[in-house]
Amino acid sequence: MKLTPEQLEVFDREGWIFIPDAFSPEEVELMRESANEVFRTQRPEIWMEKSGVPRTAFACHTYNECFRILANDHRLVEPLEQIFGEKCYMHQFKINAKSSFSGDVWQWHQDFPTWHKDDGMPEPRAMNISVFLDDVMPINGPLMLVPRSHKSGTIDTEHDTSTTAYPLWTLDNAKVAELVEQGGIVAPTGKAGGLLMFHANLVHGSAGNITPFPRKIVYLTLSALSNKIQKPTRPEFIAHTDFTPVSTLPEDTLANHARARKAEAAA
């Protein structure tokens, strides 16, 4: 899937784009069921909130067939190859869950400082591209973005290990307020199956979820091959050191797998 010139222009200016209905209902159903299967297992790759509910499942593309296929889906790989102008490798694959009633916050941050300081990634030539597995609404902890904040480059950050179960290099409130004064805040919402991509230096975060509506999003972090990490300090399941270029599967692979799973369940 290639981005249009208009989408590329918006991405360059704003730092993000959202494409609704990128994945079909049958594909979404398969991904949601597969995510629930993943979160029911006990593995070191699955991290919990301090309250005990699931927060993040790392590297599930290495042991779950649905997510192995998704990791090679043309709708997620080709746009980033288009932007970087070269093949990409998988730096990280994860599902972030905002459980109903108890999903915790994600502090204001940029992604690149963590990849740079913790993994030795040279440049912000990597980014997240994601799929909504549940409906993302204004009320259930949507991702909040600060448009055009990527134009400020990589911002000084502090290592926050106390607020949540997942440590981040976070921004101070004064800097966030300054950037919001310039660019505002947007919260992309939409039905499950929507696709969101945003620049590695776009400032973002999310509030907690105290509603009955869960909010799960799967993220592929793809990096340009020329941008391989140099000094990984985190486990392999968080920061991959396999720099094999991601190759795309035939366009109907995920849909065919969804149909096959449904037929198997009905048999």
Other CB atoms within 10 A of residue 100 CB: 16
Q: What is the pLDDT of residue 104?
A: 82
pLDDT at 78 > cutoff 90 = yes
Q: What is the pLDDT of residue 159?
A: 63
Q: What is the pLDDT of residue 100?
A: 84
262: confidence class by pLDDT, cuts 50, 70, 90: confident
Q: Round to whole Å and give the CA distance between 191 and 117.
A: 35
**CB contact at 8 A, 222 and 80:** yes
pTM above 0.85, yes or no: yes
Fold of 21-266: Jelly Rolls (2.60.120)
Over residues 92-110, the mean pLDDT reads 89
Q: What is the pLDDT of residue 265?
A: 82
Considering only 81-95, 102-116, 123-137, 240-254, which range has the smallest mean pLDDT?
102-116
Q: What is the pLDDT of residue 110?
A: 93
Work out the mean pLDDT of the chain and round it to a whole number: 92
Q: What is the pLDDT of residue 264?
A: 86
Lookup result for tokens 């649905």 = 66
Q: What is the pLDDT of residue 163?
A: 53
pLDDT at 122 > cutoff 70 = yes
Over residues 114-123, the mean pLDDT reads 94
Q: What is the pLDDT of residue 167?
A: 64
Domain residue spans of the chain:
21-266
Residue scoring higher pLDDT (5 or 106)? 5
- Per residue in 159-198, pLDDT (tens digit) is 655 555 556 788 889 999 999 999 999 999 999 999 999 9
126-132 and 215-224 strand pairing: antiparallel
- Per residue in 194-230, pLDDT (tens digit) is 999 999 999 999 998 899 999 999 999 999 999 999 9
75: confidence class by pLDDT, cuts 50, 70, 90: very high
- Per residue in 6-31, pLDDT (tens digit) is 999 999 999 999 999 999 999 999 99
The 3-state secondary structure of the chain reads CCCCHHHHHHHHHHCEEEECCCCCHHHHHHHHHHHHHHHCCCCCCEEECCCCCEEEEECHHHCCHHHHHHCCCHHHHHHHHHHHCCCEEEEEEEEEEECCCCECCEEEECHHHHHHHHHCCCCCCEEEEEEECCCECCCCCCEEECCCHHHHCCCCCEEECCCCCCCEEECCHHHHHHHHHHHCCECCCECCCCEEEECCCCCEEECCECCCCCEEEEEEEEEEHHHCCCCCCCCCCCCCCCCCCCCCCCCCHHHHHHHHHHHHHHC
Q: Which residues, at least 6 apart from 95, have a Cβ–Cβ distance to it below 8 Å?
A: 35, 38, 39, 56, 57, 60, 67, 133, 216, 217, 218, 219
pLDDT at 1 > cutoff 70 = yes
Q: Which residues, at least 6 apart from 72, have a Cβ–Cβ distance to it below 8 Å?
A: 246, 247, 248, 249, 253
